[in-house]
Each structure stands twice: as C-alpha cells, then as structure tokens.
C-alpha cells in the first residue's frame, strides 16, 4: 500500500509531515488527509508520490546499513578487506 510505504519512509528518514509536504508541493494538512485516507491524491500528486517512493523506497537507513555492513564484515574476511580498502579510498 502506498500510504504505508510513505509512512515507513517518513519514519526511516526521520522527516516531519511538513518536510514531506514541501517535497510534494502540498500543504501539511493535505498530506495528513492523504495519509489518513481522507483524501485521494489527484494524478499529478500521485506522480510526485510515486517519484518519492522510487527515490527513497529502496533505501536502507544509515543505521541499518552500518549494522548490515558490520555483520557481513564479521562473517567474511574478504568482505571486511574490501570495506577497509574502500574506506582508505574515500579518506
């Protein structure tokens, strides 16, 4: 469901409804109605929501990413070496 995905992204990215509404070009009040299923987005707004979901829907939060990398590094010495090499490059 689109609404649950938006709510999940809002929580994960630690955004306020006002921040998301600004990204979508609507008022916070209108976004609130959409999230409570009190208003159905018009096609233009739905397209903006779809783009937001495409951009942020597959992203992993920084904390979750760090946790996954740490677990993978503990399981694989080759992965750990690759991460250490990558960190040297970005320093």
* pLDDT, tens digit (0-9, with 9 covering 90-100), for 8-42: 888 888 999 999 999 999 999 999 999 999 999 99
Burial 40-73 (b: 16+ CB within 10 A, else e): ebeeebeeebeebeeebeeeeeeeeeeeeeeeeb
Q: What is the pTM of this model?
A: 0.62
On the question of pLDDT at 1 being above 60, the answer is: no
């Amino acid at each position: 469901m689109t609404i649950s995905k938006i709510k999940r992204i809002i929580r994960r990215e630690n955004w306020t409804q006002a921040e998301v509404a600004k990204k979508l070009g609507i008022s916070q009040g209108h976004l609130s109605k959409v999230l409570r299923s009190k208003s159905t987005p018009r096609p233009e707004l739905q397209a903006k929501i779809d783009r937001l979901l495409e951009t942020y829907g597959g992203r992993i939060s920084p904390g979750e990413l760090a946790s996954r990398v740490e677990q993978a590094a503990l399981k694989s010495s080759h992965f750990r070496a690759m991460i250490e090499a990558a960190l040297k490059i970005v320093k």
